[in-house]
A and B are shown apart, each in its own frame.
Chain A
């Protein structure tokens, strides 16, 4: 039983089929002059158009990348380097993914000024603080849509309105955890740059996309033959691009948010009744991510126990799970000390069943029994 869909998902069979078919029939280099190259290029461009349409938001440009990390890197470094003459102030939040945070840390070394927005105990930023921290020379704001560890949804539309109406900055949003599940297309105002990753949406690993507004100028961070309008050199993998476009379409068309909501409400209710547990961000979070903190035991102990019962959950984030320290997100939301090291993340996927949710509860109850008896004390 797999409850770690926010770390990665199993590729959808139809997406794999596209990947295989495209690899067999559209293997030519899309930059080649011959007819086979042209056919491949057409598929690539069609995949790009379809993906941009799925994203909406008026973003008409896009680059295929190796995944969310590269998309985030290209969005931030690419924009900042190309536009540094406009200002050197940048704004982000304390709970971004490392592929965003570490880029800003790097930029700080290069004498850019970065402000990090604080979050409340649910992981939400304050719009007032955002408004207050915007400066005349702020050139980029990066705020994730859904937090990968605790699932908090940031008010992206309101952020966009504030940023666009009271500054010259462009707005980047890491939508890796939200894309396909939460609708971006309904926003009246939205981000200018959006990062996606294929493997979070039942696609193929090592594949991502950065969509952006046509007015945005980026500078490449990878150099070579000038592919992807010079923004990402290297032979483009058309099978990856096609598979990503397909995965995005399938998810958007088929996702059943009501079902997720139901499961999550059930689980929130279940965990809230246990004194040994604390649900993180119960109100502000996406329905497919639920982070829970146990008192008195570490997340690792909880994971190991649940694994023995056949259940795969993770600590707060796979990317930081190898670090023994408390994650920056958990630190930022200020939960009581006794809970800090006991965080696990349950993230749901489209093939989950009611039975699995029930079994998870049974296993957790057993774990809680053990905690009550003094395990891990």
Chain B
């Protein structure tokens, strides 16, 4: 017996009203993109669930591995579709359970009878199937609450669906169903997590990274590309804009007293990001700020940095502590990339001490001596945009 279908149940979006079909279309497109490597997969979306079909069982196995990371899915089950007659359902149930280790496990049959013409009612069918299964698998223990194995049987007009396992989905909203933003991506631990949290709320984004060659290396850039690749697994194409930031940083160091240079650097980054945001039709800016974590993340600093833009700044990590952030980073697979030890633009020109309570007026005063806006426009226009997708690295085929 091979699974031939996966049934997907929607998450939060099933509560939506008029816009629901838009959400479903988005989810379908995201799943399709995530499963694009699998050859024979086809999909069908209904109002309350979606079906994925594949001719090759190994493709469905692969889909089972990929689906838990796609937002907008509440849960999913590999199912077998069979003829909705009692005999066939009984026989198929046994085959479905045959794939599972049953010894000593708790068990329950759950029947949903959408087709009320079916000769047995729900309770009768439950009993009939339960008895049938127990005769073949006598080592199963019937348990109504939280059984380890749930044999789920759903009877529709044209077919019956049978499954023995339900996987938890990632929840949230389909990425892209809630607008497009721009993520400021440093290469540290926090910003990828911020991006992930916004994806969960259905926000798709471009990413912007500030590089300071020749002080920062290609490896630092590669690291950011790897982070973007990793985030892409959660169901969205992400464009990466790399900004050549060295000259602007040198101008800041020259013009602004060192204890305020960090504040100005952040303000300039915001201004550049603001430019890129407009060019990419993004609605908000996403940052990995977490309140009080470093000098640039005090309320005073955030106020001074915020002053240069009216765009909504989305800071999903603002109230989280570092350990929580690290836990998520590990879960989503960005942690190991983030801790690669390359300097980024923020550590290249680190002043000896930073003001934790910068005064906006003073910062603006020092900035007024330099035509920073021209430089901002200049570096924003010099950005290099790529879509880091599949790995293009050496394959070592000759060697290995």
Contacts and interface: CB of A to CB of B under 8 A. Distances in A.
Contact of A242 (B218, B219, B394, B400): B400
A246 B394 contact: no
A245 B400 contact: yes
Interface in B369-400: 393-394, 396, 398-400
Given A18-B400, A21-B399, A22-B399, A35 B342 contact: no
A46 to B, nearest CB: 5
Given A33-B341, A33-B342, A46 B400 contact: yes
Contacts of B396: 42-43, 46-47, 242
Contacts of B342: 33
Nearest to B341: A33
A38 interface: yes
A12 B218 CA distance: 37
Interface string A17-33: 01001100000000001
B393 A242 contact: no
A35 B217 contact: yes
Contacts of A126: none
A128 to B, nearest CB: 19
B219 A35 contact: yes
B348 to A, nearest CB: 14
Nearest to B393: A42
Contacts of B222: 38
A39 B219 CA distance: 10
Interface string A312-342: 0000000000000000000000000000000
B400 A47 contact: yes
Interface in B144-203: none
Interface string A234-266: 000000001001100100000000000000000
Contacts of A47: 396, 400
Contacts of B398: 21
A219 interface: no
A50 B399 CA distance: 12
Contacts of A246: 399-400
B394 A35 contact: no
A50 to B, nearest CB: 6
Interface in A34-62: 34-35, 38-39, 42-43, 46-47, 50
A218 to B, nearest CB: 19
A80 B219 CA distance: 39
Interface of B: 217-219, 222, 341-342, 393-394, 396, 398-400
25 contacts: A18-B399, A21-B399, A33-B217, A33-B219, A33-B342, A34-B217, A34-B219, A35-B218, A35-B219, A38-B219, A38-B222, A42-B393, A42-B394, A42-B396, A43-B394, A43-B396, A43-B399, A46-B400, A47-B400, A242-B396, A242-B399, A242-B400, A245-B400, A246-B400, A249-B400
Given A35-B217, A242-B399, 17 more contacts: A18-B399, A18-B400, A21-B398, A33-B217, A33-B341, A35-B219, A38-B219, A39-B394, A42-B394, A43-B394, A43-B396, A43-B399, A46-B400, A47-B396, A50-B400, A242-B400, A249-B400
